[in-house]
Structure 1
Amino acid sequence: MTVIDNFGHTYNELVAEINMLEARMNDLLTERRFLLKSMNSTAPKGMGAVDYSKDRVQSNFVPYTLDRIVERMNKIDTMIQQVDEQLKAKRETLSKLDSILAQMDGLEYKVAFMRDKLNMKLHEIADKLGYSYDHIRRVSSRIQKMPHRCHIQHKISSVN
C-alpha cells in the first residue's frame, strides 16, 4: 500500500466523520425546533382560568411539561455546541489535508489531486504534466479514488 493509498483511506474516513457530524447537527436542530413548537402547544389558550394540575390531552397528543422542555433544550444546546466544535476541527483538518495534497511532489500525488480535487480528465492531466495518456492512466489506476465530497472546499485551521 502506497502513501497515497493511506492518505486516501484517512481522507475518506475524515469525510465520512464530517458527514456523520453534519447529520447529527441537523437532527439536533430539528429536535430543538420540535421542542420550541411544543412550548407553544402547551401554553394556555384563551382568557379563562386553567387547571394546571391536570394534563391536557387533545387528539392523542400529550404535551411535555415546560420544565421537561427546558431541561431537554439545555441538553440539546450543549450537544449542538459540542458537535459544532467537532465539525470545525474536522473541517479544519480536512482543509489542512487539502493544502498538503496540493503541495505534494510526485506524480501520484499530482494525478490524485488533479483527478479528484480539480476534477480533470486523464488526458487533460497528461497534457498539463507532459506525460503520455497511457502512463497517466496507469498511475491513476494505482491510486485509490477519493470521495466526491473532496471537491468541496472547507474552511478550517489545525491538524489533530
Structure 2
Amino acid sequence: KYLMKNMHMNAPKFNGVTDYSKDRVTGGQIPLALDEIAGRHDRIMEKSEQLKQRIAEKKTLLGEAQFIMSKKKGLEQQIIYLRDVMGFNLKQVASELGYSYQHIRRVSSKIKKCYNHATNVRHCS
C-alpha cells in the first residue's frame, strides 16, 4: 500500500495548471516507477518469508526446550522452567513448588549469579 501510494503521491491533481518549467518536484518527494515498486515489493516479500521461516524454527526449538525443562526434577531446573519459560514471578514459583518465597529467592539468585559468571558455571552448585 505504501509503495502504491508513493507512486501516485505526486501525480497531477488536475485542479489547476501544472508548471512543467521546474526541474524537480516540489516538496522533495519523487514518485516511484512501477518497476521500482515491484522490485521493492519482491524484496520485502522475500525477507518476510525468510523471517516467517526463522520464527517457525524458533517456535519449534522453544517447544522442545519447554518440554525438556518441564521434565527436569531438580529444584533449580524447576525454578528456571517456571521463572524463565512460563513467566512466573518468584512468589508464584514458591507457591507452585511448595517452598517459602525466601528460599526460592535465594536459589534463584544463586542461579542468576552462575549464569552471570558463565565461565565458572561448573563451580556453581
TM-score tier after normalising by the smaller chain length: 0.5 to 0.7
Q: Partners in 2 of 1:70 and 1:142 — Cα distance?
A: 55
- Give the Cα–Cα distance (whole angstroms) in 2 for the partners of residues 121 and 102 of structure 1: 17
111 and 38 in structure 1: CA distance in 2 versus 1, 3 angstrom threshold: same
Q: CA deviation at 1:128?
A: 4.2
The reply to whether residue 37 of structure 1 matches residue 8 of structure 2 is: no
Query: 2:34 aligned with 1:70, yes or no?
Result: no
Deviations 1:60-95 (A, max 9, x none): 221111111111111111111111111111122122
| Aligned partner of residue 54 in structure 2, secondary structure | helix
RCO higher in structure (CA 8 A, sep ≥6): 1
> Residue 112 of structure 2 aligns to a residue in which SS?
coil
Question: Does 1:121 pair with 2:65?
Answer: no
The separation in 1 between residues aligned to 2:96 and 2:30, in whole angstroms, is: 66
Q: CA shift at 1:59, angstroms?
A: 2.9
CA offsets, 1:119-141, max 9 Å, x none? Answer: 1434x544543445443332121
Q: 1:81 aligns to what SS in structure 2?
A: helix
Considering only CA atoms, is the larger Rg found in Structure 1 or Structure 2?
2
AA in 1 matched with 2:88: N
Q: TM-score, normalised by structure 1?
A: 0.52
Which of 90, 93, 109 is the matching residue for 2:58? Answer: 90
Q: Structure 1: which 5+ residue stretches go unaligned?
A: 1-32, 47-54, 146-160
1:42/1:87 Cα in 2 relative to 1: closer, same or farther (>3 Å)? farther
Which aligned pairs between 1:148-159 and structure 2 lie closer than 5 A?
none
Name stretches of at least 5 consecutive residues in structure 2 with no aligned partner: 15-22, 114-125
Q: TM-score, normalised by structure 2?
A: 0.63
Q: Deviations over 1:22-72 (max 9, x none)?
A: xxxxxxxxxxx42132234366766xxxxxxxx983432211111111111
CA RMSD of aligned residues (A): 3.2
1:5 is aligned to: none
Contact 1:56 1:63 in 2 (8 A): no
Contact 2:8 2:31 (C-alpha < 8 Å) held by counterparts = no
Q: Which ranges of 4 or more aligned residues in structure 1 deviate by more than 3 Å?
A: 39-46, 124-135
Paired residue for 1:135?
A: 103
